[in-house]
């Protein structure tokens, strides 16, 4: 069902954990749907210097968050905002159709963390990051 790359990132997830003094934290998904992703970022001079994640969810949810952290670490915020779920899926060598929503969550968790970073800086994140869909309470049809 899963590619070798997915299984590798699931079995050996990169950048798992928390950042105690994170500059931005983003959480998307909800328990009812069965997946929650939480992203922590450290930012210096517009560059994401460190990133960590915690995920509750299926194999592909863990794998997508893991590879997404690798894809933004050391990159600028602008580059991180350009990371699409499609790029995440491609980097994993593909995902089963019903697991694509995991890659969307990965993209959104990064955006949510960056939005939080801007909010902490006193900058309205919405014009830069866009709106992150609310998922609480119901089913995430993404």
Partner 1 sequence: MEKRFVYADNAATTEISKPVMDVLCNTLSVYGNPSSLYDLGGKSLMVIDSAREQCAKAINADTKEIFFTSGGSESDNWAIKGMASVMQKKGKKHIISTAFEHHAVLHTLDYMKKQGFDVTLLPVHEDGLVRLDELKAAVREDTGLVTIMFANNEIGTIQPIAEIGAFCRENGIVFHTDAVQAVGNVEIDVKAMNIDMLSVSGHKIHAPKGVGMLYIRKGIAIDNLIHGGGQEKGRRAGTENIASIAAFGKAMELATADIPSKIAKVSKLRDRFIDGALKIERSRLNGDRDKRLCGNANLCFEGVEGESLLLLLDMNGICASSGSACTSGSLDPSHVLLAIGLKHEVAHGSLRVSINENTTEEDIDYILEKLPPIIERLRAMSPLWERIMKENA
Which residues bind to partner 1, rule: CB under 8 A?
7, 10-11, 13, 16-17, 27, 31-38, 53-59, 61-62, 98-99, 139-141
Q: What minimum distance in Å lies between the beta carbon of 53 and partner 1?
A: 8
**Under a CB-based contact definition with an 8 Å cutoff, are residues 19 and 41 in contact?**
yes
Q: Is 33 a catalytic residue?
A: yes
Q: Catalytic: which of 58, 102, 135, 140?
A: 102
Is 14 or 128 the residue whose CB approaches partner 1 more closely?
A: 14
Pairwise CA distance, residues 48 & 26, whole Å? 14
DSSP 3-state percent helix, strand, coil across the chain (nearest 5): 45, 20, 35
Is 44 or 141 the residue whose CB approaches partner 1 more closely?
A: 141
Q: Is 140 a catalytic residue?
A: no
- Name residue, tokens 């990132």: 9
Q: What minimum distance in Å lies between the beta carbon of 139 and partner 1?
A: 5
Is 13 or 24 the residue whose CB approaches partner 1 more closely?
A: 13
Q: Identify the burial level of 76 via C-beta atoms within 10 angstroms of its C-beta, where 0-12 means exposed, 13-18 middle and 19 or more buried.
A: middle
- Residues taking part in catalysis: 33, 102
């Amino acid at each position: 069902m899963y590619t070798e790359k997915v299984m590798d990132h699931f079995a050996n997830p990169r950048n798992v954990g928390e950042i105690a003094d994170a500059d931005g934290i983003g959480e998307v998904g909800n328990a009812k749907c069965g997946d929650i992703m939480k992203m922590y970022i450290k930012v210096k001079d517009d560059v994401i210097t460190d990133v960590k994640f915690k995920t509750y969810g299926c194999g592909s949810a863990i794998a997508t968050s893991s590879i997404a952290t690798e894809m933004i670490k050391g990159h600028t915020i602008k580059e991180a905002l350009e990371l699409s779920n499609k790029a995440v899926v491609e980097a994993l060598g593909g995902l089963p159709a019903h697991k694509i929503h995991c890659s969307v969550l990965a993209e959104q968790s990064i955006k949510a963390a960056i939005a939080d970073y801007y909010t902490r800086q006193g900058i309205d994140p919405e014009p830069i990051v866009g709106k992150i869909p609310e998922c609480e309470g119901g089913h995430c049809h993404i």
